[in-house]
Amino acid sequence: MFSRSCLPALPGGDLIPAFSLQRCGGIWYSKSRYREVLRVLGKLMPNEFVESIHHIDPEELKKRKIRGVITDLDNTLVEWNRPDATPEVVEWFRRLRQAGIQVTVVSNNNRERVHRFCEPLEARFIWAARKPLGQAFMRAVRDMNVPIEETVVVGDQLFTDILGGNLLGFHTILVVPVAQTDGILTRFNRLLERIALYWMRRKGMISWTNKS
């Protein structure tokens, strides 16, 4: 039941008719604004959701004509505070190369952190990437000489990896964070993620495929 006090007003004081409103997050929106909210939330949804990178099979990627992988580092490949790759990560990189798939690590972290991790793997890397901005993603595909449609973006964060990849048209794969803790700069993003995921579940928008 609507009361006049709960109806939003247009400029000039006219009330928006109740039949033109939708509710999201306890807030009443006009239908056009509501559709815009859903569109923005849609950009946060990955195409796939898996437990870890080790559930991403290089041979399956090859069958899907994927020739490039852009992956995050911290809490995607290893814990954010682990300096070096684990044997399992080394093996995953080896299998990707064996399948003819190039890999670029794209991280928002600093050069020292990313270089130390990637150098033993002989992996391309981009540091201080400023995800979700698109420059680092586009530089990665240029360096690999692989088109967007033949590249997947892998990461553990909706507001950096998935949003950035989706905005440019990449196929995006969300993984569960390797660790339950985060660096200081990531903690605010995690709070936003929890809020976004809550409302997406409420609206039945969670529709990605879990292949784990």
- How many residues are given for the chain? 212
Spatial neighbors of 34 by CB under 8 A, at least 6 apart, are: 21, 22, 24
Are residues 74 and 177 both part of a single domain?
yes
What is the residue range of 14's domain?
A: 4-42
Q: Domain count for the chain, please give it.
A: 2
- The residue that leads in pLDDT, 72 or 192, is 72
Q: Could you read off the pLDDT of 106-116 as tens digits, one per residue?
A: 999 999 999 99
C-beta of residue 84 within 8 angstroms of C-beta of residue 116: yes
Q: How confident is the model at residue 162 (pLDDT cuts 50, 70, 90)?
A: very high
pTM: 0.75
The 10s digit of each residue's pLDDT in 55-81 is 999 999 999 999 999 999 999 999 999
Residues 202 and 118 in one domain: yes
Q: What are the pLDDT digits (tens) for 87-132?
A: 999 999 999 999 999 999 999 999 999 999 999 999 999 999 999 9
Instruction: Judge if 75 and 138 occupy the same domain.
Output: yes
Residue-level pLDDT at 179: 85
Q: 204 and 150: one domain?
A: yes
Q: Are residues 98 and 34 in the same domain?
A: no
